[in-house]
Amino acid sequence: NMHTSIVILLTAFGIHATAQTPTPTAAPTITISRPSLTIPSCWELKDSLSFTGIPAPPMDMSELGVSFALGSLYNTQDPCKLPVITGSSAEEFSEWASEWTSWQAEHVSEYRVVWEACSDDPGITDLVPVGPDACSTLKAKITGTSATNEDKDQDEEQGEGNKDDKPEAVDD
């Protein structure tokens, strides 16, 4: 999954993840460590899933890549679109970022397994792209709250047999 793979990338490249981007974004401090999961079984679960073929950012833009993959660099107008990068790295970054987002989309089922088992862990956004700045479409597919997944998942949360889109009536 996204954050685990970036932790692997961070380790492999020895990157200091400071967000140096030409786009105005809110860049939180990034700590280079394992995601801050507090439930050991979540790490074991994550380790048991196969996340392979993770596209690594080009070395000359590893900081941009890490910032993007960790969510501190994103399109402030629409998190589902790539951030606008200018300069000589723009085309190369966009190409890699497109590969990255495609890879994420292909691994929704793995993200979902981790989400369903560990969504109550405060560190879940370090492991699964469901944070406040994540793409809402991807987040919805993972958490089961999108329009495409409503019939499947919302009934479990709201009670059996509630198929209409109206809020539950509390007065009879």
Residues 6+ apart with CB under 8 A from 18: 30, 63
pLDDT digits (tens, 9 = 90+) for 21-79: 444 444 433 333 445 566 777 877 877 877 788 888 888 888 888 788 777 788 888 88
* Residue 63 resides in a domain: yes
Whether residue 12 is predicted with pLDDT greater than 80 in this model: the reply is no
**Total structural domains in the chain?**
1
Confidence of residue 152 (pLDDT cuts 50, 70, 90): very low
pLDDT digits (tens, 9 = 90+) for 134-143: 888 888 998 9
* Residue 164 resides in a domain: no
pTM beyond 0.75: the answer is no
* Residue 170 resides in a domain: no
Q: Identify the CA nearest to 148 among candidates 137, 160, 162.
A: 137
Q: How many of the other CB atoms lie within 10 Å of CB of 63?
A: 18
* Residue 167 resides in a domain: no
pLDDT digits (tens, 9 = 90+) for 68-124: 877 778 888 888 888 888 888 888 888 988 898 899 889 898 889 888 888 888 778
Decide if 32 contacts 15 (C-beta within 8 A).
yes
Decide if 72 contacts 132 (C-beta within 8 A).
no
Decide if 37 contacts 59 (C-beta within 8 A).
no
User: Which tokens hold the place of 126?
Assistant: 């370090």
* Residue 171 resides in a domain: no
DSSP 80: T
Give the range of the structural domain holding residue 74, as residue numbers without chain letter: 2-158
Decide if 72 contacts 20 (C-beta within 8 A).
no
